[in-house]
Structure 1
């Protein structure tokens, strides 16, 4: 995995500098180059590629609320699910490059970019990177009625009941599906995949018993997990998640297994650089906001601050990581 899951002292100091710079900028002074009105002078559409209830939406709410308060215009969430995030990605890539349509990127973007020519920040030239937001571990979740309480018990149960288990997917090309397929391949098990238009609807069906299991990001799963409606058997990262220290890594049983979710922000190619830089400063400042930091920590999210170049480099590293990992999954979607 790309080694950016912790915040270096240098990154924090740089982020603090951005925070101070952002605080000094009044919205009325943040005009785009050559624009007649300051940016933003009207509501901004923040496009989320999945149905409500997932990690992308949960993280976006926190950032958009702060941007709205800081910049004086509403940053409005617009869920556009479909095709594992590609519907939203293509729609934003084709939008006017004026800063008023923003894409919340996720691991699905880098997975798709690793497999085919899809719009992505700093890859196809149709989108440009703005800022990273967070990295999240995933949890292997099961319905609480499934008669297993450990990862070893789950594997034994799956092997004893080939093809009888159903696993939820947030859509083709998503980290949820690819994590499940990698687990299936390494674990030598078989199950049926049920496709959803985001992890939110899949989690609802998992809690109600319509499906047996799924991988999902900690931010999306935390409420159901802490309410006891689902059970977590393992975490997808090699190390235990600080927010869930009692949950062991999948790698303890399947040493080759490791995945995580990666989230950021992009805008259409051609968006004026002053707007890109303003959004980058404000998002980085948001990552230092004590309330946002607290809420990130509660759901196991690790902020990934940095300038646009750092985000683009991380994005490229993620593409290469998944380009090596995807063939191991035997995934058909």
Structure 2
């Protein structure tokens, strides 16, 4: 089976709009897999509902290797917070390959006077509910991280959801939305150009791309969250196909070309077996179930 796969084009679903990390990685991998395997990997953006729409398409697809998903840990959040989701991540989707990890950066509009996390918290406490924060939709890691931040700091902001980075970043630049926890790759150009102001990174360690930025932990806020990306397939996809895709993806991620492309996007490669990715997904669903309970968030 693996010897003849793929015998026709493969549908590569991205559950968010163009311009984000999922989209960049899917298109880069699609080009590489097409060159190595001799069939087109056709990227389709299916945004909406925090990634639920696109993920559901893949979960319902035939388990034949011809429909795959470029997922992020937002998928684990939606699973954890949904009361009655159309699918369950660990039950209905199988890990193919971990791909990359990227830090989240806390940025504010230039019309926000805060120059540090401490000053931002003081401002939010002074004017509860007067400031907005952006996300790529309810249940995305941007949304949940913002809610965890509010819970840990005793502040409140108004949630303004968008379909992806290409929609929300311009609103932050314009000052119509003031706060954003976003992926480094979508924010780097705007931070460097001075269009938004970076205050902190959300991971446990300082990010080598901007080592001057303190972590939230350094500011006394116990948050350690990064974004991971990986490829998933319908659960019953034949093992030889999953292993073939895993082998090709890992081989590419180990190249200097891939490492340079990822570094330019603020990302680092993640490599491992399908079993390791399945374990990561399971652990993340459990983690976000606890977080969803902490911030009292659910998706009906």
Partner of 2:51: 85
What are the residue-to-residue correspondences of 1:288-327 with 2, within 5 Å?
A: 288-327=254-293
Contact 1:120 1:128 in 2 (8 A): no
Unaligned 5+ segments in structure 2 are none
Contact 2:73 2:228 in 1 (8 A): yes
1:186-222: CA deviations, max 9, x gaps?
1111211101122331112112222111111112222
| SS at structure 1 position matched to 2:181 | strand
Residue correspondences, number: 297
The correspondence for 2:69, drawn from 103, 118, 127, is: 103
1:48-67: CA deviations, max 9, x gaps?
11111212112222222211
The correspondence for 1:188, drawn from 154, 173, 183, is: 154
Structure 1 CA distance for aligned equivalents of residues 218 and 272 of structure 2: 32
Unaligned 5+ segments in structure 1 are 1-30
Offset at residue 156 of structure 1 (A): 1.6
Offset at residue 120 of structure 1 (A): 4.7
Partner of 2:143: 177
| SS at structure 2 position matched to 1:89 | helix
The correspondence for 1:226, drawn from 192, 212, 221, is: 192
The correspondence for 1:135, drawn from 101, 104, 117, is: 101
Partner of 1:16: none
Structure 2 CA distance for aligned equivalents of residues 154 and 295 of structure 1: 33
Structure 2 CA distance for aligned equivalents of residues 72 and 153 of structure 1: 54
Structure 1 CA distance for aligned equivalents of residues 288 and 16 of structure 2: 20
Structure 2 CA distance for aligned equivalents of residues 289 and 153 of structure 1: 42
| SS at structure 1 position matched to 2:271 | coil
TM value normalised by structure 1: 0.84
Structure 1 CA distance for aligned equivalents of residues 34 and 271 of structure 2: 20
Partner of 1:262: 228
Offset at residue 103 of structure 1 (A): 0.7
Partner of 1:51: 17
Asked if residue 39 in structure 1 is aligned to residue 5 in structure 2, the reply is: yes
The correspondence for 1:275, drawn from 241, 245, 251, is: 241
Offset at residue 332 of structure 1 (A): 5.4
Offset at residue 327 of structure 1 (A): 2.2
Structure 2 CA distance for aligned equivalents of residues 231 and 221 of structure 1: 10
RMSD of aligned Cα (Å): 1.8
Asked if residue 69 in structure 1 is aligned to residue 69 in structure 2, the reply is: no
